[in-house]
Structure 1
Amino acid sequence: MKRIQKLVFLSAFLVLSGCQQDNQEASDTSSSNQETTELHLSVPAELPTMDPALVQDAISFTAINQVMEGLYRLDKEEKPAPALSDGDATISADGLTYTFKLKPNLKWSNGTALTAKDFEFGWKRVVNPKTAANYAFVMKPVKNAAAIMNGTAPVDSLGIKALDDSTLEVQLEKPTANFLSGITRGTFFPQNEDFVTKQGEKFGTDSEHTLYNGPFTLSEWDGTGLSWTYNKNPDYWDQKNVALAKITNEVTKETATGINLYQDDKLDLVRLTGEYAKQYLADPEFIAPLTARSVYLEINQTNISALKNEKIREALALTINRNELVNEIISNGSEALDGLVTKNLAKNPKTGEDFRKESGEYLTYNKKKAKQLWAEAKKETGIKEVEIELVTDDDETSKKVSQFIQSSVENELDGVKIKLKNVPFKNRIELGDSGQFGLLLSGWGADENDPDAFLNLFLSDSVFNGGKYANPKYDEAVKTAVTTANEEEKYQADLTAEKIILEDAGIIPLYQKADSMLVKNYVKDYIQYQIGSPNYKYITIDKN
């Protein structure tokens, strides 16, 4: 195999694995020495939604980023660049007002003109409590967004206004340094009111009930199936700089299947796990970037009486040898994580110290102390035996991780049984949101270079807090970090918040995820960012 050239990996919270296609097509597109404009990928799980207001998972964000677009898009260097915005925004002297001019003649995939009103409608739909958009919290920098979501301000008071068809004005609560990067996310994309209203509850549930304005359009997705296709959008404003004509996506959950297809030149990228990653460490097409994604166990502290006890929660955490987990079980470059916030995400504004290093290590492996805490908890609660359900995805890695956790706990804590429930990705999201679990193998990819990207998840009123962790001091620290304009005060509040939740054993940290993969050397400019969904817009195929 030849070495990968001009392939940019900045790491991200989503990796793609092997895919299946017709044998004749594979021969024509992958084995041919001639250049092709098709890319064949697979994804690790099903696609839950294409509604920009309801998207909350990596699979959906990645899909939306290919077929829709907002005012700005991340460029190859991970910097926000004008997309639908016709040049840079005009920013007021106080940093509170952004004015955007849209490019002329923008179109939706049904031929309808795309105007500033589509942004106003889309953003207001996201923050409207009736929409129940779990990811609406990313809109909080916009004026009145938080008050609207709390039900204390009308939706029409949101700080966004279409001054005319091509001019959009956005007002912020306070100056926000990374605002332009933030609006590259799918939650901030425009939505056409007429189309959304006409589709009703069907909007975003399959490719026929979704509207597109990005580099590609979506087809062959029925809302529940295991495959979908992106096709080059002829009406995209920058279509001349989109090289790929077609991208196929097919869900493949078994690593061995993906590797076989990759070796047979029937796919262009395969994700590696466990022993497979070890086998390809020296391969020139192997790469394993560490991502800004934290993997942890959520703990149901509402419905499971035993888990209300802090000593039991801590005992569970201390039975898990995280170094053994990443080195022996996952074996793909992932690293043991001693906290909630990932390393290389944020730094002390005064000293430059990495947040993860400065915050320290929490809930580290200690089986002797785990046994002691369990013994003390049994005396305090009267509990002698307990069975706890651990809910995870049904992919290969999640199954192995769940089995390792099950073995770790049951071997050290006499009387504790872990019942495994491996379900499809979409079902795991639903079970997590509704709190239907004892333990939940979960994870989060940071939305920005800020500890708040993780800490906000476990506020007592957060929709992502499925285990219902609650501590007023934690809420206070996080809210201080979010609202203060003083960088040092914010940083110290973030440190305090992480210390509180981990000393409470509110969650159990496991590891920081790496994306180990093989990528064909003819795939150029496949870009995965440290934070944000990958952009297939920039990919070219060069077999010369």
Structure 2
Amino acid sequence: MPCHSSRAWISFALAVSLAAVGCQGDESAAPPTTGWVADTLRLGQGSDFRSLDPAIANDTANVPIVRMLFQPLLDYDDGVNLVPLTAEALPTLSKDGKTYTFHLRKDVKFSNGRGVTADDYLYSWRRVINPKTKSPWASFVTDRVAGAKEYADGKAADVQGLRAPDSHTLEVTLLHPDLTFPYVAAMPFLAPVPREAIESVKDEAERNDHFALHPVGNGPFVFKDWQRGLRLRLERDPHYWGPKPSALDAIEVQFGLDPLTLQLMFERGELDLMDRIPSAAYVRLRKDSRWQPNFESLVFNGVYYLDMNCEMEPFNGPNGKKVRQAISYAVNKDRIVQLGNGRYEAAKGVVPPHMPGYHSLVKGYPYDPKRAKELLKEAGYPDGLPEPLTLWLSNEGDQGSLIAQVVQQDLAAVNVKVKLNPVNFAVFNPAVSRRNSVAFSFYGWFQDYPDPSDFLDVLFSSKSISDVESNNLTFYSSEEADKLMEEADRETNPQKRMDLYAQAEEVIADDAPVVPLVYPVEIWLHQSWVKGHKLHPVWLVRYEELSISPP
């Protein structure tokens, strides 16, 4: 899923960050011991959430909150192993490897008190692929479930591969065997939604927008209030059916907070968690022994990279590949790692090295400005690019701009001028995912599930291209890479499957539609009164497991 700017973008140059360190001095105040609110988790954000509709929410800040409202069939244990959630057990699989059968728990309820049935899943999954919903997740279903694409295209009245033999049994038949489908079934966008809550709005054109602002789900929390751009409040669901109800009574999120304000509020005890720690504060607090026990870190399966739109100048046409390769050689990733103070690992490929069972063949593009200039000359630009590149990035947080300025300086050294265009994430994400809109951008992708297909298929398959809400932001299309990824999708031997994906990544790396920069080390700070905070390898943060206790 796309990384929302609340987790990792950067807005101050290194010089400014170092100056800030000097201004604040080497001393920090001790962690606060007062200010906590009983059983209420208080969070801060830059941009408001896009939606509370599970079919729509798709970034790394939005999804953890949506998970509190909606729960799908499966979940993960403390690692990357799937466990049943609203299903009684893990699904059974037919001999041909194509039909999964889920037996549903009979005690699951929506927050309106009504019990959840298999028909609710049928309705919800059809809704995800209905073009009127405009779900960015639709292809996860249409590319897998038999008859889903025909239904989405209006060529079939129902989805052939979805059946409910009885009120608590769901059968899903796939187009072909797919080892990733159980992971997809654990994603919040496939959680059930109640038909009556959506269709209570008579105007069909307004139904989805209304539901996004007034969600009714089956999770441990219920929607209470949302003042757009200001604050959101969720409260514990009295109808929650789960074996372990949350110890929290409420979750509150404040929006419109810049990184410095977030930091100051956290240090004063007005917020309970902080994940986008400004560079100056990070260095200061990390060195303070009083704050060190409150840090949590995890090398997460994600990657930050530069997108180069293969349909736009100067990255398209017969010489576009050489330009893209030149940009790849021109960026010094080790410098980014050094300036990150332990928050990054240098990237060679798009698939993170910690992906379970995966071994990349990609050697990457070492820092080589001489080779970059040679490639630009071969592409017809002996004096560098004649026009500046505009690099789009989100303007929140304090890491994205620092990385962008390193890129700007490195490309200037090979006679490629770069103008930085930092914008609000709510503007940034629709722009970069719209065809013929943005040629050059800084982006981050975090796993939806722990498998290389979630990086390669989603980001580089021709099937991931659309005119708007495109997951393939480079609009890169390769018959060779597509074929290898399609073979991998259908392969049931786990090792052969991983080998095919490794070959596909090698092809993609040679074509260079992106410049993989760094893999993130996720670093969070929590107050001493927050208990149970442990970063998760898939969800990163699971708010339902937290509690508030006096220090």
Interval of TM-score (by shorter of Structure 1 and Structure 2): 0.7 to 0.9
Equivalent residue of 1:218, what SS?
strand
Residues 150 and 378 of structure 1: CA distance in aligned 2, closer, same or farther (over 3 Å) = farther
Equivalent residue of 1:515, what SS?
strand
Q: Residue 235 of structure 1 aligns to which amino acid in structure 2?
A: H
Give yes or no for the alignment of 1:504 onto 2:514: no
Give the C-alpha shift of residue 519 in structure 1.
1.4
Unaligned runs of at least 5 residues, structure 2: 9-31, 465-469
Give the C-alpha shift of residue 163 in structure 1.
2.4
Residues 322 and 384 of structure 1: CA distance in aligned 2, closer, same or farther (over 3 Å) = closer
Give the C-alpha shift of residue 153 in structure 1.
6.2
Equivalent residue of 2:87, what SS?
coil
Equivalent residue of 2:269, what SS?
coil
Q: Alpha-carbon deviations, 1:104-145, whole Å to 9, x = none?
A: 354323344432111001112223345442222333685316
Q: What CA RMSD, in Å, does the superposition of the two structures yield over aligned residues?
A: 3.0
Residues 286 and 386 of structure 1: CA distance in aligned 2, closer, same or farther (over 3 Å) = same
Kept after mapping to 2: 8 A contact 1:69/1:189: yes
Give the C-alpha shift of residue 74 in structure 1.
2.7
Task: Give the Cα separation in 2 of the matches to 1:515 and 1:145.
Answer: 39
Give yes or no for the alignment of 1:367 onto 2:331: no
TM-score by length of 1: 0.85
Equivalence for 1:21 = none
Q: Residue 279 of structure 2 aligns to which amino acid in structure 1?
A: G
Task: Give the Cα separation in 2 of the matches to 1:486 and 1:89.
Answer: 19
Task: Give the Cα separation in 2 of the matches to 1:534 and 1:15.
Answer: 16
Equivalent residue of 1:284, what SS?
helix
Residues 42 and 78 of structure 1: CA distance in aligned 2, closer, same or farther (over 3 Å) = farther
Task: Give the Cα separation in 2 of the matches to 1:513 and 1:38.
Answer: 29
Unaligned runs of at least 5 residues, structure 1: 1-11, 19-29, 348-353
Q: Alpha-carbon deviations, 1:408-439, whole Å to 9, x = none?
A: 212x132x322222111122110121032121
Equivalence for 2:330 = 319
Share of identical aligned residues, percent?
24
Kept after mapping to 2: 8 A contact 1:297/1:510: yes
Task: Give the Cα separation in 2 of the matches to 1:397 and 1:164.
Answer: 51
Kept after mapping to 1: 8 A contact 2:36/2:529: no
Task: Give the Cα separation in 1 of the matches to 2:5 and 2:414.
Answer: 35
Q: Residue 344 of structure 1 aligns to which amino acid in structure 2?
A: H
Equivalence for 1:97 = 99
Equivalence for 1:423 = 423
Q: Residue 295 of structure 1 aligns to which amino acid in structure 2?
A: Y
Q: Residue 475 of structure 1 aligns to which amino acid in structure 2?
A: D
Quick one: which of 330, 345, 355 aligns to 1:335? 345
Give the C-alpha shift of residue 321 in structure 1.
0.6
Kept after mapping to 2: 8 A contact 1:338/1:363: yes
Quick one: which of 279, 289, 312 aligns to 2:284? 279
Kept after mapping to 2: 8 A contact 1:144/1:153: no
Kept after mapping to 2: 8 A contact 1:527/1:536: no
Equivalent residue of 1:386, what SS?
coil
Residues 17 and 291 of structure 1: CA distance in aligned 2, closer, same or farther (over 3 Å) = closer
Q: Alpha-carbon deviations, 1:92-111, whole Å to 9, x = none?
A: 45554333333335432334
Q: Residue 285 of structure 1 aligns to which amino acid in structure 2?
A: N
Residues 497 and 273 of structure 1: CA distance in aligned 2, closer, same or farther (over 3 Å) = farther
Equivalence for 1:264 = 268
Equivalent residue of 1:492, what SS?
helix
Q: Residue 447 of structure 2 aligns to which amino acid in structure 1?
A: A
Equivalence for 1:351 = none
Task: Give the Cα separation in 2 of the matches to 1:368 and 1:383.
Answer: 12
Quick one: which of 501, 516, 519 aligns to 2:523? 516
Give the C-alpha shift of residue 231 in structure 1.
0.9
Equivalence for 1:60 = 62
Task: Give the Cα separation in 2 of the matches to 1:426 and 1:35.
Answer: 30
Task: Give the Cα separation in 2 of the matches to 1:17 and 1:374.
Answer: 34
Mapping for residues 331-410 of structure 1, pairs under 5 Å: 331-347=341-357, 354-356=358-360, 359-378=361-380, 385-395=386-396, 396-410=398-412
Q: Alpha-carbon deviations, 1:509-537, whole Å to 9, x = none?
A: 11111212211233222343212363222
Equivalent residue of 1:288, what SS?
strand
Give yes or no for the alignment of 1:530 onto 2:531: no
Give yes or no for the alignment of 1:219 onto 2:233: no
Task: Give the Cα separation in 1 of the matches to 2:472 and 2:353.
Answer: 22
Give the C-alpha shift of residue 385 in structure 1.
0.7
Equivalence for 1:290 = 299
Give the C-alpha shift of residue 384 in structure 1.
5.4
Residues 306 and 263 of structure 1: CA distance in aligned 2, closer, same or farther (over 3 Å) = closer
Task: Give the Cα separation in 2 of the matches to 1:54 and 1:145.
Answer: 22
Equivalence for 1:194 = 196
Q: Residue 42 of structure 2 aligns to which amino acid in structure 1?
A: H
Kept after mapping to 1: 8 A contact 2:199/2:207: no
Quick one: which of 143, 148, 154 aligns to 2:156? 154
Equivalent residue of 1:510, what SS?
strand
Residues 134 and 336 of structure 1: CA distance in aligned 2, closer, same or farther (over 3 Å) = same
Kept after mapping to 2: 8 A contact 1:231/1:247: yes
Q: Residue 481 of structure 1 aligns to which amino acid in structure 2?
A: A
Q: Alpha-carbon deviations, 1:175-198, whole Å to 9, x = none?
A: 555544432211211122233234
Give the C-alpha shift of residue 59 in structure 1.
2.3
Task: Give the Cα separation in 1 of the matches to 2:369 and 2:187.
Answer: 42
Task: Give the Cα separation in 2 of the matches to 1:461 and 1:90.
Answer: 29
Q: Alpha-carbon deviations, 1:277-299, whole Å to 9, x = none?
A: 22233422223211101111111
Task: Give the Cα separation in 2 of the matches to 1:517 and 1:14.
Answer: 15
Kept after mapping to 1: 8 A contact 2:305/2:518: yes
Quick one: which of 488, 491, 495 aligns to 2:498? 491
Greater Cα shift, 428-437 or 142-151 = 142-151
Q: Residue 171 of structure 1 aligns to which amino acid in structure 2?
A: T
Give yes or no for the alignment of 1:541 onto 2:543: no
Equivalent residue of 1:238, what SS?
coil
Equivalent residue of 1:302, what SS?
coil
Residues 86 and 15 of structure 1: CA distance in aligned 2, closer, same or farther (over 3 Å) = farther
Greater Cα shift, 303-312 or 369-378 = 303-312
Give the C-alpha shift of residue 43 in structure 1.
3.1
TM-score by length of 2: 0.84
Equivalent residue of 1:190, what SS?
coil
Task: Give the Cα separation in 2 of the matches to 1:35 and 1:45.
Answer: 24
Task: Give the Cα separation in 1 of the matches to 2:400 and 2:379.
Answer: 29
Give the C-alpha shift of residue 393 in structure 1.
0.7
Q: Alpha-carbon deviations, 1:326-376, whole Å to 9, x = none?
A: 221x335211101111011032xxxxxx524xx232122111111222233
Task: Give the Cα separation in 1 of the matches to 2:302 and 2:49.
Answer: 19
Give the C-alpha shift of residue 248 in structure 1.
1.2
Task: Give the Cα separation in 1 of the matches to 2:310 and 2:143.
Answer: 31
Q: Residue 305 of structure 2 aligns to which amino acid in structure 1?
A: Y
Task: Give the Cα separation in 2 of the matches to 1:302 and 1:88.
Answer: 43
Quick one: which of 181, 184, 190 aligns to 1:182? 184
Task: Give the Cα separation in 2 of the matches to 1:307 and 1:275.
Answer: 40
Task: Give the Cα separation in 1 of the matches to 2:550 and 2:298.
Answer: 24
Q: Residue 468 of structure 1 aligns to which amino acid in structure 2?
A: F
Q: Residue 277 of structure 1 aligns to which amino acid in structure 2?
A: Y
Task: Give the Cα separation in 1 of the matches to 2:154 and 2:489.
Answer: 19
